[in-house]
Amino acid sequence: MERFLDRVRQLGRLRVIEKPLDVELEIPHLAYIEIKKEKPDVLLFTSPVDGKTGYKYPIPVVMNAFAGFDISTVIFGKKPDEIASEIDSLLHMKPPSSLKEKIDTLGRLLKLRSVLPKRTGKKGLCQEVVITGEDVDLFKLPVLKTWEKDGGRFITAGQVYTKSLDGKLQNLGLYRLQVVSKNELLMHWQIHKDASHFFDQYHRAGKKMPVSIAIGGDPLYTWCGQAPLPYGIFEIMLYGFIRGKNPLLVKSITNDIYIPYDVDIVIEGEVDPDRFMPEGPFGDHTGYYTPVENFPVMKVKTVTMKKNPYYYATVVGKPPLEDKYMGWGTERIFLPLLKTTAPDLIDYHMPENGVFHNLILAKIKPMYKGHAKQIMHAFWGVGQMSFVKHAIFVNADAPPLTDYPGITRYILERLKPDSFLISEGIVDQLDHSSYEPLVGGKLGIDATGKPVEKTVRPVPDEELLKQLRELDGDITDLKQYFTDSPNPIAVIGVNKTKPVRQIFEKLKCLSDRLRIVVFVDQKGNDLDNPYMLVWRVTNNIDALKDVWIEEIWGFDATRKWEIDGYKRQWPEDVYCSKDVIQKLKNEGLIDVDDDFLRKFQIVEGD
């Protein structure tokens, strides 16, 4: 971490905040604002404090390590596409036929030697300070509380190291960890994650599960924790491949789990398989608060650290955030591996305002009828891709997938009723739109065909809104997009008093003027803000219940409750505290205007 900060400082991209700021709301709010800028800085808070007790933490806080594409490239050491090319060359390695090819092949094979971790018998840099027994106090770490309605303080960038019951498999995961006492944490490993699978083994055996949590060190360690590797592959091996040198690991003090020798802080303990506590709520990367659920309790035995450690944390919420740049690296690096499942895949992209698992755009080379839908099913059956809710496929001649206006127009020019495939599968445990937890609708769209004819004749927004309001009084506002395309989009704001399906039925009589109608709640949405509308719509739809492909095509992205047959608790949006934002503005620590706050829906009501 020290080397990384020095490098960023040399690039003029390290912003040091020396003013004392509270770990509750103030530090994370400032980081939340900064990472949304077009060119954000890495932040170093040198004087974190506990506003309630006045305690001054001796450990500085680092945030926004992945501060943009350029700084993320610094962390990877090269462009992610270059790493992907190295992986691709290994996957397609052929017997060499010339001396040059033999030398090249030997070089690639020798590089694989760096993948395997090396274990040192010496103490690690992360073990210069050892705190045990009654001296353990997690409240002496500058753990942050990000949102006003969070259930407490959460470690948000903890590298969670675990091993299988028989010790043959190791795992590195990135899970949020709620601090509930001076020596207890709650482990939010979701049911689909590898660490949860290990936990099941210990639970069946009636044994306590050892866990070591590392914080800081090389930011690449943290990125490896979220890498979507297959079950049983130790994520730290990916670190060795990218760095081109063997990861150096050191044994934890109280268990047999090995962690990187140069991380900043290590929290060691064990999880009792029979002890659970309510965890949350927490404003997560979906931009919503996840509800309170029971999760396992970890009893902390020991905390070790460097003599002068850094506490690294990330902030999650509404996009764009640091995970935009972490996800960019993941997306590019794992393209060759995804192609092994779908060989005719050319490229893919997961927009950050689709919260990654909510929306994927894919460019393919279709070879036969139904090929796109075949690949959709392949995606929904592969690892973390199985969480993807909405997948849109285009042909090789489509614009770049990151050209959002261009790719949107391309898709709209090719949609017809049989373009849509609605299926069912697992969804992320954080997903709130499914009508039952863990299982929900999937929407696949095949836009690989030829352009279709334009049959809809849209009218101006004012005229259409008047007609819509005459049909149903719940309709309050309207904004149309791409009205010159064969499939224009009408975003309709409603003050909902009944199921949206009933409104949709009334609009079918306007099939000559409407094609795609997207319903959102009037409250909390700006119909002139397509970036945040994509975030809202992809979050709020369960394709099995909320998508209707009939005379017109309807998408219900409103909040659901009992009148919709939805019996779960619909979560609240995350918003920054107005008072904290105003204070940070007054102190000159935030330099964005009200338009910026409104654009990203940072403060409620603005």
Q: What is the DSSP string of 354-373?
A: GTTTT-EEEEE---STTHHH
Whether the bond between 343 and the residue before it is cis, its omega within 30 degrees of 0, is no
Give 402-467 as a DSSP string: T-HHHHHHHHHTT--GGGEEEEEEE--TT--SSSBTTEEEEEEEEE-SPPPPP------HHHHHHH
Residue 390 belongs to a domain: yes
For the domain that residue 26 is a member of, what is the CATH number? 2.30.110.10
User: Which stretches in the chain have pLDDT values below 70?
Assistant: 91-112, 192-193, 606
Residue 250 belongs to a domain: yes
Question: 440: closest CA among 448, 450, 449, 429?
Answer: 429
- Calpha distance 594→279 (Å, rounded): 34
CA–chain centroid gap for 602, Å, is 18
Q: Are residues 424 and 544 in the same domain?
A: no
Residue 63 belongs to a domain: yes
Q: Are residues 553 and 587 in the same domain?
A: no
Q: Are residues 26 and 161 in the same domain?
A: yes
Range of the structural domain that residue 48 is part of: 2-78+110-313
CA–chain centroid gap for 247, Å, is 26
Query: For residue 299, which phi and psi values (nearest 5 degrees)?
Result: -90, 120
Report the pLDDT value the prediction gives residue 456, as an integer from 0 to 100.
Answer: 93
Q: Are residues 307 and 431 in the same domain?
A: no
Identify the residue whose tokens are 């973390």.
384
Query: For residue 182, which phi and psi values (nearest 5 degrees)?
Result: -65, -20
Query: For residue 304, which phi and psi values (nearest 5 degrees)?
Result: -120, 160
Q: Which two tokens stand for residue 154?
A: 């959460």
576 neighbors 602 (Cβ within 8 angstroms): yes
Residue 188 belongs to a domain: yes
Q: Are residues 421 and 552 in the same domain?
A: no
**Alpha-carbon Rg for the chain in angstroms:** 25
- Calpha distance 479→175 (Å, rounded): 39
Q: Are residues 585 and 551 in the same domain?
A: no
For the domain that residue 369 is a member of, what is the CATH number? 3.40.1670.10
Residue 282 belongs to a domain: yes
Q: Are residues 465 and 407 in the same domain?
A: no
Neighbours of 233 (CB within 10 A): 14
Burial class (CB in 10 A: 0-12, 13-18, 19+), 49: buried
Residue 47 belongs to a domain: yes
* Antiparallel, parallel or unpaired: β 209-215 and 265-279: antiparallel
Q: Are residues 371 and 229 in the same domain?
A: no
The catalytic residue positions are 284
268 neighbors 304 (Cβ within 8 angstroms): yes
- Calpha distance 194→81 (Å, rounded): 27
Q: What is the DSSP letter of 208?
A: P
Q: Are residues 351 and 470 in the same domain?
A: no
Residue type for position 565: G
Q: Are residues 590 and 538 in the same domain?
A: no
HSE, side-chain direction, 13 A CA sphere, residue 30: 31
Residue 84 belongs to a domain: no
Report the pLDDT value the prediction gives residue 231, as an integer from 0 to 100.
Answer: 78
Q: Are residues 152 and 249 in the same domain?
A: yes
Q: Are residues 276 and 228 in the same domain?
A: yes
Q: What is the pLDDT of residues 525-538, one digit of tens each?
A: 999 999 999 999 99
Residue type for position 105: T
Final residue of a structural domain among 414, 447, 480: 447
At residue 101, the 3 state secondary structure works out as helix
Whether the bond between 320 and the residue before it is cis, its omega within 30 degrees of 0, is yes
356-391 exposure pattern, b = at least 16 Cβ within 10 A, e = fewer: bbbbbbbbbebeeeebbbbbbbebbebbbbbbbbbb
The structure's pTM equals 0.92
184 neighbors 294 (Cβ within 8 angstroms): no
Neighbours of 483 (CB within 10 A): 15
Residue 212 belongs to a domain: yes
- Pick left, alpha or beta for residue 12 (phi over 0 → left; psi -120 to 50 → alpha; otherwise beta): left
- Distance (Å) of CA 369 to CA 58, 365, 381, 402, 419: 63, 12, 21, 26, 12
Counting the structural domains of the chain, the total is: 4
The alpha carbon dihedral of 48, 51, 57, 61 has a sign of negative
